[in-house]
Amino acid sequence: MSETNQAAENFLVPNATFFVELFAFALIVFALGRYVVPPINRAMAERQDRIKRQFEESEQAKAAAEAAEREFREQITDARHEAARIREDAREQGAAIIAEMREQAQNEAQRIIAAATAQLEANRQRVLTELRAEVGALATTLAEQIVGESLEDDARQRRTVERFVAELEKSGDGDGSGSDADADAEVEQPVGKSG
């Protein structure tokens, strides 16, 4: 019996409980390896893939944001250049419009001056015609009073008036006394020749 007791007490010799425990452990390890670990590994792999995708999406979003920022800055620069060009065009158009309006104003002023000059010339001619008629009538009346006889002969009357007016035009804007004396002398001459 001492040998059996020694064998029972020897811990290096496996007993039936050991084999059952070993079998139970192997069964648990198999069950864990077969049913528990693969879903955990899949979940971890999915999570790692998701994290990797998020990093990639984050990098893409960062690159897209940088590209958008570059494009925005380029658009701002282009907009500033376009605004400067538009301002310059507006300035040039304004100068052209001012020059055109100035030219139109000068043309209009010249047209108005020409029309006024023509109107003045027409008025001058009309006034001269009226004055000739009035001066002629006055000269005839004056000559009739000085001579004492009627100057009813139209041809003589017309010649007298024309000579008188011609002398007035020759003397220009000189003093009126010399013109009146010349007019009296001319009026007397035809009358003296006729008498």
Side chain identity at 180, as an amino acid letter? D
The number of CA neighbours under 13 Å toward the Cβ of 36 is: 7
Specify if 189 maps to a domain. Answer: yes
Position 137 in a domain: yes
Q: Angle CA(125)–CA(129)–CA(134) in degrees, nearest 5?
A: 145
Residue 15 lies in a domain: no
18/10 Cα distance (integer angstroms) = 13
Q: State residue 73's pLDDT score.
A: 94
In angstroms, rounded to a whole number, what is the distance separating the alpha carbons of residues 171 and 164? 11
Q: What is the extent of the structural domain holding 161?
A: 131-194
Q: What angle do CA 174, 178, 181 make, to 5 degrees?
A: 150
Phi, psi of 11 (to 5 degrees): -80, -10
* H helices present in 148-175, as ranges: 154-171
43 domain-assigned: no
Specify the residue for token string 């001012």: 98
Residue type, 40: I
The pLDDT value given to residue 152: 63
Predicted local confidence at residue 77, as pLDDT: 94
Cβ contact 190:159 at 8 Å: yes
In 3-state terms, what secondary structure has residue 85? Answer: helix
Rounded CA separation 58/75 (Å): 25
Give the residue from 178, 132, 180 showing the smallest Cα distance to 158. Answer: 132
In a domain, 89, yes or no: no
pLDDT of residue 168: 76
The Cα–Cα gap between 14 and 96 comes to: 114
Q: What is the pLDDT along the chain (195 residues), one digit of tens a residue?
A: 455 555 556 667 778 888 899 999 999 999 999 999 999 999 999 999 999 999 999 999 999 999 999 999 999 999 999 999 999 999 999 999 999 999 999 999 999 999 999 999 999 888 888 887 787 777 777 777 776 666 566 676 777 777 777 887 787 655 544 444 444 444 444 444 444
**For the chain, the helix, strand and coil percentages under 3-state DSSP, each to the nearest 5:** 90, 0, 10
Residue 93 domain-assigned (yes or no): no
Residue 160 lies in a domain: yes
The alpha carbon of residue 78 and the mean position of all alpha carbons in its chain are separated, in whole angstroms, by 19
The count of structural domains within the chain is: 1
Q: What letter would DSSP give residue 52?
A: H
Tell me, yes or no, whether 117 lies in a domain.
no
